[in-house]
Amino acid sequence: PNQYTEQEAKKLGVVGWVKNTSQGTVTGQVQGPEERVNEMKSWLSKVGSPSSRIDKTNFSNEKEISKLDFSDFNTRY
Protein backbone atom coordinates (compact mmCIF):
# COMPACT_ATOMS: atom_id res chain seq x y z
CA PRO A 1 0.00 0.00 0.00
CA ASN A 2 2.86 2.41 0.64
CA GLN A 3 3.64 2.66 -3.07
CA TYR A 4 0.48 4.79 -3.36
CA THR A 5 1.77 7.04 -0.59
CA GLU A 6 5.12 7.32 -2.38
CA GLN A 7 3.37 8.19 -5.67
CA GLU A 8 1.27 10.87 -4.00
CA ALA A 9 4.29 12.36 -2.21
CA LYS A 10 6.29 12.48 -5.44
CA LYS A 11 3.31 14.04 -7.27
CA LEU A 12 3.04 16.75 -4.60
CA GLY A 13 6.80 17.23 -4.35
CA VAL A 14 7.22 16.42 -0.67
CA VAL A 15 10.02 14.31 0.78
CA GLY A 16 10.34 11.98 3.76
CA TRP A 17 9.40 8.42 4.58
CA VAL A 18 6.56 6.14 5.62
CA LYS A 19 6.55 2.85 7.50
CA ASN A 20 3.95 0.28 8.53
CA THR A 21 4.08 -0.54 12.24
CA SER A 22 3.41 -3.87 13.93
CA GLN A 23 0.21 -2.36 15.39
CA GLY A 24 -1.33 -2.03 11.93
CA THR A 25 -0.73 1.69 11.78
CA VAL A 26 1.50 3.84 9.61
CA THR A 27 4.16 6.23 10.84
CA GLY A 28 6.38 8.59 8.89
CA GLN A 29 7.74 12.03 8.26
CA VAL A 30 6.84 14.53 5.54
CA GLN A 31 8.82 17.63 4.63
CA GLY A 32 8.25 20.30 2.02
CA PRO A 33 6.55 23.64 1.41
CA GLU A 34 3.74 24.16 3.92
CA GLU A 35 0.91 24.06 1.37
CA ARG A 36 2.29 20.85 -0.16
CA VAL A 37 2.64 19.23 3.26
CA ASN A 38 -0.95 20.24 4.03
CA GLU A 39 -2.12 18.61 0.78
CA MET A 40 -0.27 15.44 1.73
CA LYS A 41 -1.82 15.49 5.21
CA SER A 42 -5.26 15.86 3.66
CA TRP A 43 -4.58 12.90 1.34
CA LEU A 44 -3.33 10.79 4.25
CA SER A 45 -6.42 11.68 6.31
CA LYS A 46 -9.08 11.20 3.64
CA VAL A 47 -7.80 9.08 0.77
CA GLY A 48 -4.84 6.87 1.53
CA SER A 49 -4.10 3.63 -0.28
CA PRO A 50 -7.02 1.87 -2.00
CA SER A 51 -6.85 -1.07 0.41
CA SER A 52 -6.49 1.00 3.57
CA ARG A 53 -9.10 2.02 6.10
CA ILE A 54 -8.39 5.29 7.86
CA ASP A 55 -9.86 5.48 11.35
CA LYS A 56 -7.90 8.49 12.54
CA THR A 57 -4.81 10.50 11.76
CA ASN A 58 -2.49 12.22 14.20
CA PHE A 59 0.09 14.76 13.06
CA SER A 60 2.66 15.92 15.60
CA ASN A 61 6.03 17.65 15.97
CA GLU A 62 5.25 20.14 13.21
CA LYS A 63 7.89 22.81 12.79
CA GLU A 64 9.48 25.10 10.26
CA ILE A 65 12.81 23.90 8.93
CA SER A 66 15.47 25.75 6.99
CA LYS A 67 16.43 22.82 4.80
CA LEU A 68 15.05 19.40 3.90
CA ASP A 69 16.51 16.36 5.65
CA PHE A 70 15.55 14.02 2.80
CA SER A 71 16.04 14.06 -0.96
CA ASP A 72 13.08 11.86 -1.86
CA PHE A 73 10.13 9.96 -0.39
CA ASN A 74 10.42 6.25 0.35
CA THR A 75 9.11 3.34 2.36
CA ARG A 76 11.09 2.05 5.33
CA TYR A 77 10.94 -1.54 6.53
Q: Is the pLDDT of residue 1 over 70?
A: no
* Domain harbouring 14, CATH code: 3.30.70.100
* pTM summary value: 0.87
- Boundaries of domain holding 63: 3-75
Angle, helices 2-12 vs 34-46, to 10°: value is: 150
**Mean pLDDT of the 18-47 span:** 93
The whole-angstrom distance between residue 75's C-alpha and the CA centroid of its chain comes to: 10
- Domains of the chain: total: 1
**Rounded mean pLDDT, 15-33:** 93
Provide the residue count of the chain. 77
* Angular region, 68: left φ>0, alpha ψ -120 to 50, beta rest: beta
Q: What mean pLDDT do residues 12-24 have?
A: 93
